[in-house]
Each structure stands twice: as structure tokens, then as C-alpha cells.
Structure 1
């Protein structure tokens, strides 16, 4: 039991630095000489870097790691790997290789580490990739994730900020896993709620990304630590506004109940503070607001697609068992960036 107490003390994407702090640092980094083959870098706030190596091939590079948000080491490994692999899918790419990133206390049971890495390895295999090595350090707490390399055609990349007025927004997974995991840490979450959250966090975005390739995708991102509204803010890129219909957004029902009980995360409050000048709520409950700010671990894809293709895309996603919802639309830039009604 002592290992469990040390093992899970609040993690997943709730452990990420806030968007405001991160932007403050990144804006001051020297850009260096522009490389015309670097199609997407960190300056675009996109999900991964994309580098062209030939006319028909570009490599997608990303990494992600964090502390545990569940007690089961094997499930934690699966979730962390699924989350790291997601960035490749958000760019429209396919996974090729992955490297383990491990921080682990030397005095903790090594069987725990073995279970974490087993879970991660299985998800890399499910993604069609090869686990090719990694790096580990002794640390006072557990952290795990992957560095992932994928491939994509240079002309078929999904940027996160090229949506157009008139586009419809589709979300492929339900919101609320951060709130549910928080409730679970204090033993207030039901088994059903936690099982639903784990199923969501261990579902690869692979099929969602592959289905999207049949449609004209203008923008795509995966919803993780900055919450639904934070990643939507990045998608608008200061150039557009959007209207979100709260009743159409897929949400885990028990997350609303736990938000009403104030089982909240500090990371969600950072997201709220960062976005306070960009969002306007009309007739939205406090609990639903919290769900919108809730950091998602291994969240779904948020997609901008032409209105005429949205219903068919949603139908295809749902046929794959994904709880995809048409959540709103992009509009011309207005005084308020994000309207939630």
C-alpha cells in the first residue's frame, strides 16, 4: 500500500505547466535561422514538429510524459503511451517508432516499472509502431511517457490553426477525465465513472485520424492539458471566433456531478485564468464551465471540417464506437473569441 500512496499523487496532463507560463518562456526563445524544411515548429503552438525529408515524406516528432493519475501501473503505462502517441494522429500522421522516457525511484519495486513499461509497449504495438529504446533516470517520483516519431505526407498535414469561418467543430471523445481522476484520488469516484475514464484514456486516436483522411480537414488538435477551451483558443489563433453549443459537447455525466461537489484541479483554474478574456458563457452552469476548463489526459481530437461534410464524418466516427459530437462552428472574428451557449 505504501508504494501506491507514493505512486499516484496527482498526474496526467493536470501536471503540465500552465499555458500562460509556457507562452511567457517560449516567446523569448531565440528562433534561429529559418529552415524551409521545418514545416511546423514550436512557434505555431501545434501538437508536434514536422520536418520534410522528401517531396512525399515528412517526419513527425513529439514527446510527452507525466506522473501517474491511476493506481494501476500497467494502466498508467497504457494511458501515458496513448497520450504521447496522440500528437502524431493529431497531425494526420502514422506512428513508426517510440522511445521510453522513465523517471523512477531506485528504492521502489522494479515490478512496478516493468508493468508501466509493459502497458506502454502494448500501446506502441497497437499503434503499429516499434519500441526502439529509451532513457531512464533515478528520481524521487514516478514519471513515464514516450518520444514518438511518425510520418506524414507534407501536403496532408493537419495544422491546428487553419480552420475557416463556416467550418464545423467535432470532438471525438467525451470531456471530464481530469475531474473524475481527481474524485478517484480521494475515493469519491464510482467504479463506473473511473472505468469510463480509463477506457477513454486508453483509446488510441488512430482510427479517428484515419477516418478524417477521407474528408477535407482544415484544422485538428488533440485536447489535453489546456482543456477543451484552451486548445480551442489555440485553434482560433487570434484570427477567428467560434460558437460552442454546450448541450452538444460529449461529456462524462458523472464529471458534472463531481464538479458540482468541487472536486477540481489547480490546472483547471490555471486554464480558467489564462482564458478569462477570451471566453464568454451564456446560461452555462458552474459545473459545465469546469468541464470545459478541465485538463484532459489522452483526450480526443478536435476537428474543423467544412459544414457540408460534418454530419457524415460524425456518423463515420460514431460507427467506430467513438462518442463524437458536433460541438459548434467557427465564425468571423468578433470581440469575444469563444462564445459558449
Structure 2
């Protein structure tokens, strides 16, 4: 059971969850000078070039290693739930590449002079429980004393190098499937401001993307990404740019967590969601209003997979089309 110390963890962080990521435009400017032609090798199957969800290195003809890391500030006040959400979010990058997580290590930053360190045990326990659910070994990690609490995992997974899910493998004429509803950033923003708890949002964020990843591989699909801090529009833009295609999104088909729209109407919007939209806007052709676009750009934490292909049981929200002047079209 979570230690009840009457502490609201979200009040100790300037941001929350994946909404605290560095804005995508700034990140790309910094990373633009990092990758050189000499960095690529035949065995580095996925690297920095397209901003995919994890790095993939071939071991042999049948095995590849998937490596990723993800951590963030508290997205909910409950320490155990925060640990679960952060772990599911980090593991998602492996699933988004078509891999299975094998082993992970904890990454923990804690303000020991401001929040009792005993509460960190609940965070770590939440992460351990989700790793156990995923069948992923959790072995040690690293912790530091930090003014702001942060938690996540560094994860190593295994995949078949011939059956990867990549963000540069999209093709025109293929439907787009979204495996979790949007609106998580809006509800997390409301939780941080008011302390209201949204159990459905917690359930969505702690659900592993394992089943969706395996369904995509079983269907022979090759292109996917997960929808996290850059929102649906941001991650879709990256997928289209990497694949050399455009996309048409059916806004009415996109699912949302209950109370997300009402919370947005009440003014609970993460700053990261608006920054996401500003980044994508030059590449966007939309016939929906600004409010709808902000929701589509909402910064998600531990969101679902966006898969190029149809997966039974999950909604189709659009399709990939031949490259147009606008990379993403919203109707």
C-alpha cells in the first residue's frame, strides 16, 4: 500500500510527465549537429536519424538489441501510480519498435531535504510491479539527490531484426490505427492544478503497449511509433517525414479519455501541447477549429501506439497518403 504522508508530488515539479519534454523544435536543432555520416554502421539498424523510439543494433541474423530510456517528473500525486506510469511509458519504446523488454534499471532523482525518502520506495515498487507484469527483469539502477523528483527506466529489449516496427516504414494507402485514447495531458494538467483523480487516465497510462505491438507484428505490419510528449500530431508528423508520405486524420474518429474535453474547455491545457501544435502548424492543413487541433497535439504520457495498418479492436483514425504540400491534413 502506498505510504500516505499527505504529500502532493506534482507540486514539487515545474512540469509533469511527458509534457515536461524539451520542445521538439529545440530538440531537433540541438541534435541536428550530433549525427554524422561516420556514425552509421550496417549493424546499427535504427539510430538518431529519424528520432525513432529506441536504438536498434543487430546481434546476428535473428536477434537485435533495442535500447531506450525515459524518465520524467511526477504526473500524478500517488507515488506508486507515478512509478507504474513511468515504467509503462519507458517500456513502451521497446514495444513501439516491435521488441520485447528484457532487462531494465531504475533512474531516480529525489529531493531528500524536501520529500521523505521513504516515499521513493513506493515509486520504485510501482515501477517494479509493471516491469514484472511485462516479464522484464529490473536490476538496480542509479539515484541522485535532486531539487525536483524524477523517475524512469533505462530498458534493453530484444527483437527480430527482420520484423521491426519503425517510424520510417510507412507507405501511402495504409490506414492509421491508434491504440489508446488521447486527452491524458489535459487530465494530468487538471490533476496537478486541483488534486482531482481520474482513474480512467491512470488505467490508460499504466496499460502496457505489449498487446498492440504483438498484434501489429502478427499482422505483418512494419511501421509504428508511440504517442507521448509530442502529441498525436507531432509523432504523426515525424512518422510521415521519415517515411516520405503525408497523412489525413479523421478528427471525429480519434478517441478521448472521459472528461478530457470538459477539462480542456475549463482551461486545463499543458504548455507542451500548445508548443507541439506550433511546431507542426507550418506543415498542417486543417479544416477543424483551434481547440480540436490543440487536443490532437496534447502532450500524452504513456500513450498508445500509432500503427500504419489496421489492427482489429482498435480505432482507425486516418490514413497515409502520397506526399502532399501539407504533411498532415486534419478533417
**What is the TM-score of this pair, normalised by structure 2?**
0.94
Note the residue ranges of structure 1 that are not aligned, 5 or more in a row.
319-323
Between 38-47 and 77-86, report the one with greater CA deviation.
38-47
Q: Whole-Å Cα distance in 2 between the matches of residues 77 and 230 of structure 1?
A: 26
Please state whether the residue corresponding to 2:142 is helix, strand or coil. strand
The structural deviation recorded for 1:55 is 1.1
Corresponding residue to 2:89 among 83, 91, 108 = 83
Q: How far apart are 1:130 and its partner, in Å? A: 0.4
Instruction: Give the Cα–Cα distance (whole angstroms) in 2 for the partners of residues 174 and 151 of structure 1.
Output: 27
SS at match of 1:302: strand
Give 1:186-265 correspondences, 5 Å limit: 186-187=193-194, 189=196, 191=197, 194-237=198-241, 239-265=244-270
In the alignment, structure 1 residue 12 sits paired with structure 2 residue 17: yes
CA apart distance, 1:337? 1.3
Task: Work out whether residues 7 and 71 of structure 1, in 8 Å CA contact, stay in contact via their aligned partners in 2.
Answer: no
> In 2, Cα distance between the equivalents of 1:188 and 1:259?
16
- Cα separation, 2, equivalents of 1:88 and 1:253: 28
For residues 287-326 of structure 1, the aligned pairs below 5 Å read: 287-305=291-309, 310=310, 313-314=311-312, 318=313, 324-326=314-316
In 2, Cα distance between the equivalents of 1:207 and 1:170? 14
Cα deviation for residue 208 of structure 1 reads 1.1
Contact 1:168-1:326 at 8 Å conserved across structures: yes
Normalized against structure 1, the TM-score is what?
Answer: 0.91
State yes or no: 1:329 paired with 2:310: no
Residue 54 (structure 1) aligns with: 60
- Specify the alignment match of 1:321 in structure 2: none
- Asked if the contact 2:35/2:48 (under 8 Å) is kept, the reply is no
Q: Does the aligned pair in 2 maintain the 1:83–1:299 contact within 8 Å?
A: yes
Structure 1 runs (4+) greater than 6 angstroms displaced: none
1:25-51 deviations in Å (ceiling 9; x for gaps): 111114244321000001121000000
For these two proteins, the number of residue pairs brought into alignment is 323
1:8 Cα deviation after fit: 5.3
Question: Within 5 Å, which residues of 2 pair with 1:39-50?
Answer: 39-50=45-56
Report the counterpart of residue 25 of structure 1 in structure 2: 30
- Secondary structure at the aligned position of 2:162 is classed as coil
- Contact (CA 8 Å) 1:165, 1:330: kept in 2 or not? yes
Distance 1:253 1:285, change over 3 A: farther
Alpha-carbon shift at residue 241 of structure 1 (Å): 1.1
- Any unmatched runs of 5+ in structure 2? none
- Asked if the contact 2:100–2:157 (Cα under 8 Å) also holds between the matched residues in 1, the reply is yes
Q: 1:170 to 1:215 in 2, by over 3 A?
A: same
Distance 1:203 1:221 in 2: 16
2:139 — aligned with what? 132
Quote the offset at 1:177 in angstroms: 0.3
Contact residue 69 and residue 153 of structure 2 kept, 8 A: yes
1:267-282 pair list within 5 angstroms: 267-282=272-287
Matched, 1:156 2:163: yes
Does the Cα contact within 8 Å between 1:9 and 1:68 map onto a contact in 2? Answer: no
Does structure 2 conserve the Cα–Cα contact (< 8 Å) formed by 1:259 and 1:290?
Answer: no
CA contact (8 A) 1:102 1:144 kept: yes
Conserved 8 A contact 2:84-2:130: yes
In 2, distance between residues paired with 1:332 and 1:218? 18
Partners of 2:174 and 2:204 in 1: CA distance:
26
Choose which of 100, 106, 125 in structure 2 pairs with 1:94: 100
Structure 1 residue 216: deviation in Å?
Answer: 2.3
